[in-house]
Amino acid sequence: MFKEIELDALKEIGNIGAGNAATALSMLLSKRVEMRIPEVKVLPFDEVSRLVGGPENMVTGIFFRIEGELAFNILFIMQPADTLNLLKIMLRQEKTELDLTALEESALKEMGNIIASAFVAALADFTRLSLRVSVPCLAIDMAGAILSVPLSLYGYIGDTAFLLETEFEEGLDDIKVHFFLIPDDDNAFKVLLNTIGVRASDGNNSSGDGRI
Amino acid sequence: MEIIRVGMGEYKTAKAPALLVSFGLGSCVGVALYDGAKKIGGLAHIMLPDSSLTGKRDFNPGKFADTAIDYLIAELRDKGANTKKLVAKIAGGAQMFQLKSENSVMMIGKRNVEAVRKKLNQLNIDLIAEDVEGNYGRTIEFCCETGELTVKTIGHGIKIL
């Protein structure tokens, strides 16, 4: 697993990306957006959905697959009320039900696209890695079902979930957008650490001293 | 009545009248095995098709179709079930996001379902009911008293298998 200095470095990478993403969201909505300092979390697979209201809670998920020199997944999760509020800001239409039209789905996907791309652009710029962002995918369903996709991919090598997590918050209308970065494997984070000169410890060298 | 929760990558067994429950299955597959004569049931919440891809020797067997079902059967045997009389019902294996990827990583639900069917077939366990694939999440409840598997969804109704 990762040492303290490596976790700090990952948080800082997350912070740079998320800062860029928050700025992009703020410009899109023309509203002030705040973000929490990203956290690296290691927790049981089942606990992840509790961060967004439990496995059966209905949420909106916007998913991106990132491929290239790193493989990972980005997932935005929003509660129904926040989804409707976002649509109100973007499309200037009142809506009370989550039966979305094609235009509304498209608006949410595009919002996701703008934030995810801002995050990945900052990451690529900072690390000099070549990364590709997939087209956005949207699902409105149980939180557990939506999270199961990226969590399972990490499950090939991990018995617990390992992710970078933060939240964007638009204060005026109290809209929260939850951000998850879930790697395919530990290697993605190791490559990240190597590119910025923090040596990632591996199983054979537990005494490897991380240095910047 | 006792309600036993089976989380991602877990498998659990119980006797009537207990209920075995998995919440919010997406690409995961829930595999219920049942000895109806003794009213002993088991539920595995499988995440991935094949343990050979893990590259690790020490892993949780409950995650993979090829290992979880073996462990579930062993636990059913320990609880007193007749493992020659087991029948299976499965649900889940959805494709939550319609994304075309370069490789098959995004088809994980379908691959999970295929791996479970193959494993059950190898073990000569009859698959008597299934509600699989699609693009929506499912919560499943297996009743050890009746052997019924109840599948609940958001917007796609409730099914009893």
Q: Domains of chain A by range and CATH?
A: 4-201 (3.40.1550.10)
Q: Would the CB atoms of B139 and A151 count as touching at under 8 Å? A: no
Say if residue A157's pLDDT is above 70. yes
Distance from CA of B53 to the nearest CA of A (A): 7
pLDDT digits (tens, 9 = 90+) for B140-155: 999 999 999 999 999 9
Report the candidate in B49, B46, B25, B48 with the shortest Cα–Cα distance to residue B135: B25
Confidence bin at A200 (pLDDT 50/70/90): low
Residue listed under structure tokens 């498209």: A106
Question: Alpha-carbon Rg of chain A, whole angstroms?
Answer: 17
Average pLDDT of the segment spanning B109-119: 95
Rounded to an integer, what is the distance from CA B110 to the centroid of its chain?
Answer: 13
If pLDDT is split at 50, 70 and 90, which confidence band does A174 have?
confident
Residue A203 is predicted with a pLDDT of 43
Contact (Cβ atoms closer than 8 angstroms) between residue A69 and residue A188:
no
Q: Which fold has domain B3-160?
A: 60s Ribosomal Protein L30; Chain: A; (3.30.1330)
User: What does the pLDDT look like over B37-55, one tens digit per residue?
Assistant: 999 999 999 999 988 877 7
Q: Which active-site residues of B does the annotation give? A: 28
Q: Which token pair is A100? A: 């979305």
Domain limits, chain B:
3-160
What is chain B's mean pLDDT, rounded? 93
| pLDDT tens readout for residues B47-93 | 999 888 777 777 889 999 999 999 999 999 999 999 999 999 999 99
Element (H, E) at B143: strand B138-143
Q: What is the DSSP letter of A37?
A: P
Cβ separation A155–B96 shorter than 8 A:
no
Structure tokens at A38: 């990203």
Residues 6+ apart with CB under 8 A from A139: A60, A61, A63, A145, A146, B96, B97, B135
The three-class DSSP label of residue B68 is helix
ipTM comes to 0.90
Answer whether B137 sits within 8 Å of A54, measured CB to CB: no
What would the pLDDT profile of A47-63 be if each residue is shown by its tens digit? 999 999 999 999 999 99
C-alpha span between A121 and A99 (Å, rounded): 32
CB A167 within 8 A of CB A135: no
pLDDT at A206: 36
